[in-house]
Structure 1
Amino acid sequence: MVLVFLKKHKIKIISSAILLVLYYFCLPEKLFEDPTSTVVIAKNKELLGALIADDGQWRFPELDSIPKKFEQCILQFEDAHFYKHFGFNPVSLAKALKENIKAKRVVRGGSTITQQVIRLSRKNKRRSYIEKLKELIYATRLEFRISKKEILKLYASHAPFGGNVVGLEMASWRYFGLQPNQLSWAESATLAVLPNAPSLIYPGKNQLKLKKKRNRLLNKLYKKKIIDKTTYELALEEELPQKPFPLPSIAPHFVQEVGKELKGKHIKSTIDFHLQKRVNYLVKQHYERQKQNEVFNIAVLVLDVETRKVLSYIGNSPTNKKHQKDVNNVISPRSTGSTLKPFLYAQMLQLGNLLPTQLIPDVPTEIAGYTPKNFDLTFDGAVPANEALTRSLNIPAIRMLQSYGLEKFREDLKEYQIKHINKSADYYGLSLILGGAEASLWDLCKTFASYSGIVNHYEKLGHKYYENEFIEPIFIELNEVNFGAITEKYNKIDAGTAFLTLNTLTEVNRPFTDQAWKYFDSSQKIGWKTGTSFGNKDAWAIGTNSKYVVGVWVGNSDGEGRPDLTGVGSAAPLMFDVFDVLPKSNWFLAPYENLVEESICEKSGYLALPICNSIIKRVQKNGVRAKSCPYHKQISIDQTEKFRVNSNCESVTNIKNKTWFILPPLMAHYYQQKNANYRVLPSYRSDCVILDSNTMDFVFPTKQYSKISLTKSEDTKTNPLILKLTHANAEAKVYWYLNNVFIGETKEYHEQAINPKEKGVYKITVIDDLGNERKRTIELL
């Protein structure tokens, strides 16, 4: 029977099958291919900002849901039987056909919301009965494919709302400055009638027509008991929108940056909306002060240490186009100033080359023609490494970098993934540590967060490490950072070293205060570092505690430097203001298992010798590799303790042995100027003759061979060149020779002027009255 039926109706069956296949595939897989706006919301779903779609339309990505008020309004206005029909309403079609034939033109449409979705997807093709038939077929097919709720979301997402506004969400922001779920009944009704006549919304025009349409819809809602009488009467009193509202622009540079990576998406970010607004306010206040000094641009970044999420992102101050308001200074490379110094300090601790309080030379220095200077143009002679870091002294930093290795430090920064430091070590030279390279606020904050994370995770993981601490921060709420596997071995920096470095940075004096701030209970303990680039072009301040990293850059985006633009004075106050609006956080737990107790020389900071006055301190594990104190020596003195003696001039029974803190002459020359308790090594008694190779040194010139340009006075006469020497024996006489010709004798203050008549190479020789000798060669240009 079946076979007979199939043979008899073969053509009909095949035709039906073909029609069914055509019907099944008549709709494209995706109805709407229009470009959409990039929409970025905070983690609490508040709108941060949006970017217009590529076709110039404000078209937000499709809605997740339709607010109840708008759903009731659109259904009562457009398609009251939406949930009952199967894509088309025969009764409405019949009525529309009858009225249109009678009027001999289209006066009424009978389209359902489903049909209108189809028409929108087909770009509102010219109306005809053939087109209407197609819409009807496609509408029924759409009803098979998706639910009624999804059809309604498609309509609300793609309906026109006047001008270049497409979709309910954008219309809600544009005309009322609200999210769709915040709209009142009157506002929802206003938007519900617009897709039917979007030209009515133009501000200042068609107000009466629009109001009548809205009120008719409100009346229908009231009659159908969807709203009560009070709601109805109050809704009638609401005004229509008079002007378009600007979209929120809480984090414009962040939105722009997200748009590069996730164009046309609806992104829920990690930004804390309320924190962002408060930091925006602080930046505005700070900008008003800074622009008095003609400094117009600011950037702020706040990271969560544990999650590495971006909590606040301000790419620029509220300035204008003239002052490059569109430049994103969070990601722009800028001269680093002194901001890399903590990383060099940490790497030297890690290698065991340095202990936190170890003395570093701070004396006039020239290396391959490069002459660094401290910010205040003074010298300490010798300064503890941790103090050199907190005071951001340049000469100790240069000497530390030379000692550690320029190439090695360049490789460290590469592993930190500081992207813009991408040239060879030779390209940067030793100035790398003083701002000779460029980095972004993003990368510097990221690295501080990595240091903080190492310390936090060490305790959390039971004295272990993650493989990948130096990782990019994230800005999408659903994402999580991947720190990699847990391992016994640290990557680059261990917890003890990271902790000591961050702890050292808490000793930096806060701007406009003194050290007393730390004794107030309300003060947060923060490890922070400032930086000021050459020419006062960039001011940095980056700080961290166990929970947050806050980074601030202040300057001009066009690179113009300004007097008084410094990290301490210009960037640090804003950084501390931002910390003040963050939840209070505790300092790190000290990783005692990754620190060792060592006997440290109290004066030199090196590992103590038995002859040193020492104290017990916790240092990094590799601190046991550090050098023993080179500055304490046993000396022999007479019974009066005024002179050094030896067995050649004093009997052994009358010789006293005493420990003495002795710095090299050049270091001692400057050190004693700032350390009144420094005791100069006693002189040998006159009857004791001895040669001492470490008793005197040149203050100028310091190098064995120096090229020097002579200056001229106002009357064009050549100024004399002043040679300077320091001697450990205050009573010593020094004899000066120029090209082996005696030119003078000095005592106490060893300065000798020379005034050669011709340019050329000259040899300087000095000999003290004990026969100690020093030589220098200079070339006068």
Structure 2
Amino acid sequence: MDKFKTYILANKIKSAIVLILLIAYYFCLPNQLFKDPTATVITSRTNRLLGAQIANDGQWRFPQNDTIPDKFKTCIIEFEDAYFYKHPGFNPVSIFKAFRDNLSSKDSKRGGSTITQQVIRLSRKGQNRTYFEKVIEIILATRLELRESKEQILAYYGSNAPFGGNVVGIDAASWRYFNRDATQLSWAESATLAVLPNAPSLIYPGKNQDQLLKKRNRLLKKLLENTDIDSLTYQLSIAESLPQKPYALPQIAPHLLQKVAKIHSGKRVQTTLDNHLQERVNQVVKTHYYQLKQNDVHNAAILVLDVKTREVLAYVGNTPTDKLHQKDVDVIDKARSPGSVLKPFLYAAMLDAGDLLPNTLVADVPTQYGSYNPENYNKTYDGAVPASQALSRSLNVPSVRMLQEFGLDRFYQYLKKLHLKDVSQSANYYGLSLILGGAESNLWDLCKSYAGLSSTLNHFSETSSEYYSNEFCEPTFIKSESVDFGKKTADKTLFDAASIYLTYQSLKEVNRPEGDDNWEFYDGSKQIAWKTGTSFGFRDAWAIGTTKDFVVGVWVGNADGEGRPGLVGVQTAAPILFDVFNLLPNSEWFSKPFDEMQEVSICKKSGHRASPNCDVIEQKFIQISGLKTKPCPYHILIHVDKDQQFQVNSSCESISNITQKSWFVLPPLMGYYYKTKNPFYKPIPPYRADCLGENAVSMQFIYPNDNNTIFLPKDFDGKVNELILKIAHSKPETTVFWYLDDQFLGSTQDIHELAIIPKKGKRLITVVDTFGNEAKRWMTISE
């Protein structure tokens, strides 16, 4: 040590030079060897290639891989650098032989570079191949050997070597030339790719086939001689043909690739997609697309979520249409009118708040709020319908009336907690049309919301009747990410488990599309809670369904918003929905959340909690919050004669002949329409003529609605059509007198309809019955 110090002190300049050289040698190699842009690559949950987006410089260069396949490794070492694991980065013997041969031939016929040197040369692209450059390569190669392992150096080479045309790296080359992953290549295919970086021009289709074949077979012969392969493998390998043309890279999930490229450009991303399911869903979309385009419907999107992990299992952003019809547009996250898809959230909210029981009768009668006049799809009315049927049949009028009763602002707050990002305006901006698609949403958010409902129900059953604080979280399509459902809590996240379960019970009864409408009669049939939606003008068709394990969402329409006749959820989106569910495993139905439910007596006819007057009672489990709902208001006790034809009292009948009976009575307007769909509905009997003290009667306008503006159409001959006025009376046999602006028009009995031709302007209709009851309605006549 003393001699070393003495030598340094005696040779300061030499020592300084050596130190500088050592420092320079240490820092001569860049921290990042390759800075070229790379392709964005997505793989399935099992690392199967789903698609790639070419690098910004136009090269098919996949992101750096840390390993290379064993067969290719054996081939490339045998072909390029047999002493790779023995040299320090350069091979003096090979360099000497190359120098000698090139000097004698006065040409560069032999390189003598090791794989490590070739990695350095690839990283220093554009440099002239001179002896001075060769010296630099040797220095940098030795430094690389000190810094990296041999396996890492091979990985550098495998990811950055040229393979002809715009193909760089073994990963891209194996897909471009053999249409499979590099790990699946045969010995012949691996040998073919191993000789290409040495002469990449040989791969051009239809050219230089003989030269490429000879180089490949010579390498295979070496592998046989070195016992890397046996004689049978050798014979089979030399019999394999060469690639004739480049293959297009897989594009199994092109729209998800677009989404990934925006946030992970140039990266290799393992997604949550199931590649087998994705390919089969693609085929389903393709099949339906050829049917849909016959009606000039060109676009569709499908999303499949795993409820328990909230992972995306299939992602189809559009159909295989053409650019004219915007095939590259990813519709899954685009705002569209959801039609009736939001109705289950209102039903669940009303159950959760205790404002409704599952089968409570709700009014389905002509309705007008200001200038807003909602109508059912079939243009008819049921008078009164159980709330669950209103949902399963997707009736518009009951839904609007339920929203009005529940409160627009109140329901709007529920939607905000679902994090539907496209519901961005105020509640008053949307008005009551909110429940019929007046707002916009997207397939991603809607599927996320349904998955949140299903997950709430699952977690409640799997835990000790507890909820998670973050049920309505964002799904993920990145395999390395996991969803955080939050902490366990006794408090519901949004809806209680019973309200969700009862909502799903109703959605399970939605009429299925033709061909699947008898599903409940078959063993093993899928039980699915699902809902369709159709936007105004037939622009968007939806179908979203959920089981205990999966959520499937479907949108069908035109990306440019063009509506088409027949573009209806149950006709176009629902068949796709059930085709996709048929690809998924069967799921058990949701467990009933007994801890959030209570068995009570329910009036079978009205769906309300049974009152003492209800004649038919059944025991049903309802949500606990429903205990505060009022008892049945539609059953009253009346006194009738023996034949039950008339109401009577002691003034006209002896007490021994009077029978007390419970009678189901709806308000006149509801009853008017209810009896058209329910033939066994009997209006309350009239009082017998000789009885005193009759009960009060009532009547309601059916048409026109209050403050309605009416346009009187004309026939082809120019004659103005009549306006038909209608009322409902609790005692149809009563005579009703009609007045227009205090001018008597006439009277009606039994059927209370009157045809008039009023003059233009604001008019007042007044009706008076023989009991002195009166009803008025304003209307404006326009031509």
Same fold (TM > 0.5)? yes
**Do residues 660 (structure 1) and 670 (structure 2) align?**
no
| Conservation of the 8 A alpha-carbon contact between 1:697 and 1:774 | yes
Residue 291 of structure 1: aligned partner: 293
**Conserved 8 A contact 1:359-1:384:** yes
1:423 corresponds in structure 2 to: 425
Per the alignment, residue 771 of structure 1 pairs with: 772
SS in 2 for 1:70: helix
Q: Which residue of 1 aligns with 2:144?
A: 142
Deviations 1:315-349 (A, max 9, x none): 12222223222122222222101111111100111
2:398 pairs with 1:396: yes
Q: 1:602 to 1:531 in 2, by over 3 A?
A: same
CA–CA separation in structure 2 for the residues paired with 1:693 and 1:218: 104
CA distance in 1, matches of 2:452, 2:516: 29
Kindly indicate whether residue 721 of structure 2 is the aligned counterpart of residue 719 of structure 1.
yes
Q: Does the 8 A contact of 2:697 with 2:731 survive in 1?
A: no
Q: Deviations over 1:625-657 (max 9, x none)?
A: 222222112223345533234566667676543
**Residues 498-545 of structure 1, C-alpha deviation per residue, up to 9 Å, x if partnerless?**
111111111112111586421211211111111112222222111111
> SS of the counterpart of 1:175?
helix
Partner of 1:457: 459
Shift, 1:769, TM fit: 1.1
Describe the superposition over 1:542-598 as per-residue Cα deviations: whole angstroms up to 9, x where unpaired. 111111111122222222222222211211122112111211111111111111112
Question: Out of 6, 11, 14, which is 2:13 matched to?
Answer: 11
Aligned-partner Cα distance in 1 for 2:370–2:731: 31
Counterpart Cα distance in 1 of 2:517 and 2:553: 22
After superposition, the Cα gap between the structure-2 partners of 1:515 and 1:297, relative to the gap in structure 1 and judged at 3 Å, is: closer
Q: Aligned partners of 1:198, 1:334: CA distance in 2, in Å?
A: 50
1:580 corresponds to = 582
Q: Does 1:216 align with 2:194?
A: no
How many residues align? The count is: 779
Match of 1:76 among 61, 78, 94: 78
- The amino acid of 1:128's aligned partner reads T
- For 1:777, the aligned partner's letter is W
Cα deviation digits, residues 379-426 of structure 1 (max 9, x gap) = 000000000000000000111111111222222112111222212212
Match of 1:760 in 2: 761
SS class of match (1:541): strand
Match of residue 157, structure 1, among 156, 159, 162: 159
In structure 2, how many angstroms separate the alpha carbons of the residues matched to 1:692 and 1:59? 88
Determine the C-alpha separation between the residues in 2 that align with 1:595 and 1:762: 52
**Percent of pairs identical after alignment?**
56
> Aligned to 1:596, what secondary structure does the other structure show?
strand
In 2, Cα distance between equivalents of 1:39 and 1:694: 75
2:743 corresponding residue in structure 1: 741
Partner SS, residue 100 of structure 1: helix
Q: Following TM superposition, by how much is the alpha carbon of 1:483 offset from its aligned partner in structure 2, in angstroms?
A: 0.3
1:701 aligns with 2:704: yes
2-side partners of 1:654 and 1:230: how far apart? Answer: 107
Matches within 5 A, 1:515-554: 516-554=518-556
Q: Secondary structure at the match of 1:334?
A: coil
In the other structure, the counterpart of 1:630 is 633
State how 1:580-599 maps to structure 2 within 5 Å.
580-599=582-601
Aligned residue among 678, 681, 684 for 1:681: 684
Alignment correspondent of 1:477: 479
Residues 425-471 of structure 1 deviation map (CA, whole Å, 9 limit, x = unaligned): 12222111112222221111111111110111001121101001101
Q: Could you say which residue in structure 2 is the equivalent of 1:55? A: 57
Contact 1:251 1:313 in 2 (8 A): yes
Once the two structures are TM-superposed, the CA of residue 292 in structure 1 deviates from its matched residue by 2.5
How far apart are the structure 2 equivalents of 1:341 and 1:667?
Answer: 22
Whichever residue aligns with residue 68 of structure 2, its letter is I
Counterpart Cα distance in 2 of 1:14 and 1:651: 132
Query: Structure 1 residues 579, 269: closer, same or farther in 2, change over 3 A?
Result: same
Residues 301 and 550 in structure 1, CA contact (< 8 A), matched pair in contact too: yes
How far 1:701 moved relative to its partner? 1.6
Q: CA deviation at 1:33?
A: 1.2
User: Partners in 2 of 1:691 and 1:634 — Cα distance?
Assistant: 14
User: Which of the numbers 387, 390, 398 marks the counterpart of 2:389?
Assistant: 387
Q: Is the 8 A contact 1:499 1:591 kept in 2?
A: yes
2:687–2:694 CA contact under 8 A, matched in 1 = no
Structure 2 Cα separation of the partners of residues 598 and 375 of structure 1: 34
Aligned mates of 2:618, 2:455 — CA distance in 1: 30
CA distance in 1, matches of 2:290, 2:93: 66
Query: Once structures 1 and 2 are overlaid, which stretch shifts more, 758-767 or 161-170?
Result: 758-767
CA distance in 2, matches of 1:742, 1:692: 27
TM-superposed deviation, 1:669: 0.3
Q: TM (normalized to structure 2)?
A: 0.96
Counterpart residue type for residue 751 of structure 2: Y
Counterpart of 2:468, as a letter, is Y
Alignment correspondent of 2:266: 264
The SS at the match of 1:713 is: coil
Aligned equivalents of 1:272 and 1:761: distance in 2? 65
Q: 1:559 to 1:20 in 2, by over 3 A?
A: same
**Separation (CA, whole Å) in 2 of partners of 1:673 and 1:143:** 90
Amino acid at match of 2:257: V
**Residue identity matched to 2:347:** Y
1:427–1:52 distance in 2 versus 1, CA, 3 Å: same
Q: CA deviation at 1:22?
A: 1.4
1:701-755 CA distance string (max 9 Å, x none): 232x333222222222322222111111132100111222221011111112222
Letter in 1 for 2:772: G
Residues 43-442 of structure 1 aligned to structure 2 (within 5 Å): 43-442=45-444
Taking only aligned residues, the RMSD between alpha carbons, in angstroms, comes to: 1.8
- C-alpha deviations, 1:61-102, integer Å up to 9, x for none? 112321121111111111111100001111111111222222
Structure 1 CA distance for aligned equivalents of residues 560 and 134 of structure 2: 59
Q: Tell me if the contact between 1:59 and 1:165 (Cα under 8 Å) persists in the aligned partners.
A: yes
Partners of 2:562 and 2:763 in 1: CA distance: 43
1:537 and 1:556 in contact (8 A); partners too: yes
CA distance in 2, matches of 1:98, 1:766: 119
Which ranges in structure 2 are unaligned for 5 or more consecutive residues?
none
Deviates more, 1:213-222 or 1:85-94: 213-222
Residue aligned with 2:116, SS: helix
For 2:725 and 2:165, the matched residues in 1 are separated by 80
Q: Residue 388 and residue 694 in structure 1: after superposition, are their counterparts in 2 closer, same or farther (change >3 A)?
A: farther
Contact 2:447–2:544, Cα closer than 8 Å, also in 1 = yes
Q: Is the 8 A contact 1:691 1:770 kept in 2?
A: no
- Give the distance between the partners of 2:668 and 2:33, measured in 1 at CA: 84
Q: Secondary structure at the match of 1:286?
A: helix
Are the equivalent residues in 2 in contact too, given 1:690–1:770 (CA < 8 A)? no
Structure 1: gaps spanning 5 or more residues: none
TM-score by length of 1: 0.97
Higher alpha-carbon deviation: 634-643 or 181-190: 634-643
Letter in 1 for 2:700: D
CA contact (8 A) 2:422 2:442 kept: yes
Moved more, 64-73 or 458-467: 64-73
Instruction: Answer yes or no: is the 8 Å Cα contact 2:737–2:748 preserved in 1.
Output: yes
